[in-house]
Amino acid sequence: MVAKRIIPCLDVKDGKVVKGIHFEGLRQVGDPVELGAAYAREGADELVFLDISATFEGRKTFASLVERIAREIDIPFTVGGGIASPDDAARLLDAGADKISLNSAALADPSLVSRIAGQYGSQFVVVAIDARKTGGDASPFWTCTTHGGRIATDRELFSWAREAQERGAGEILFTSMDHDGTCQGFACELYACLHESLSIPVIASGGAGSLQDIVEVLTTGKADAALAASIFHYGTLRIRHVKEALRDAGVPVRLS
């Protein structure tokens, strides 16, 4: 059985890790290289670094940060933010990233997924989807958003995830905007449905607040990996303790 993964997420703004609620009210948490290295030592399976203020100049700065990360961290890491062309992806992969994450630019031009996957392989491409519920409970519609959740699109979560898979995405990283930063649990039923509709791994993001939340999204929610930020940044949970609890609950994990 394939091991479930625990993935800390580091949102980077102006060279510092930040965290907020619903992508707003950001405050600095620490240095991305130092935090990433600490999480690697604690047993994280992978890391995700997102440049959430990626202007052109910001992307160049971020590439140099990726080089620093690659020198200090010995586990796979994904980088995203402002990637709008195969050249942008090449710059980050050449700097040492193991995967790149596409979001707003892929929604604007879905062929971007195909072009990057065709050039580098599906294993290098993660399509991140930020969506929020806009329909009622009787007939919910999960609307995909762009630009850090600020702009709604006419795309629906499940149809876009399936298209991204068909275009060559190797993984889907789905964040429920309604749950992000709340520490009140994942949208487990939604993740289970997404898992059933896809043949590629699903990374769950948005809402981790307790050990039980992570256990539930990896079991009931059928997610292949759980991504979290606040609970690790603020020391609410330690990665090894999470993995030990998952093992005790019968969830396959890698423990060193």
Q: What is the CATH number of the domain that holds 28?
A: 3.20.20.70
Please give the tally of structural domains in the chain.
1
Q: What is the pLDDT of residue 81?
A: 87
Q: What is the pLDDT of residue 25?
A: 47
Helix locations, 43-97, DSSP H: 56-72, 86-95
DSSP 98: S
Looking at the domain assignment, is residue 99 inside a domain? yes
Tell me the residue range of the domain where 148 lies.
5-248
Please give the backbone phi and psi of residue 58, each rounded to the nearest 5 degrees, phi first: -60, -40
DSSP 177: T
Q: Which residues are catalytic?
A: 11, 130
136-154 pLDDT, tens digit per residue, is 666 678 899 987 778 899 9
Question: Secondary structure of the chain: what % helix, strand, coil (to 5)?
Answer: 40, 30, 35
Looking at the domain assignment, is residue 253 inside a domain? no
Write out the H or E segment, with its range, that includes residue 164: helix 157-166
Q: What is the pLDDT of residue 62?
A: 83
Q: Other CB atoms closer than 10 Å to residue 205's CB: what's the count? A: 27
Q: What is the mean pLDDT of each run of 10 residues along the chain (256 residues)?
A: 93 79 56 93 95 63 89 95 91 95 95 97 97 75 84 94 98 86 81 97 92 95 94 90 95 93
Looking at the domain assignment, is residue 256 inside a domain? no
Two structure tokens written together for 141: 């519609």
Q: What is the pLDDT of residue 57?
A: 47
Q: What is the pLDDT of residue 27?
A: 54
Looking at the domain assignment, is residue 255 inside a domain? no
Looking at the domain assignment, is residue 224 inside a domain? yes
Q: What is the pLDDT of residue 59?
A: 63
CA angle 28, 33, 37 (to 5 degrees): 115
Looking at the domain assignment, is residue 254 inside a domain? no
Q: What is the pLDDT of residue 176?
A: 87
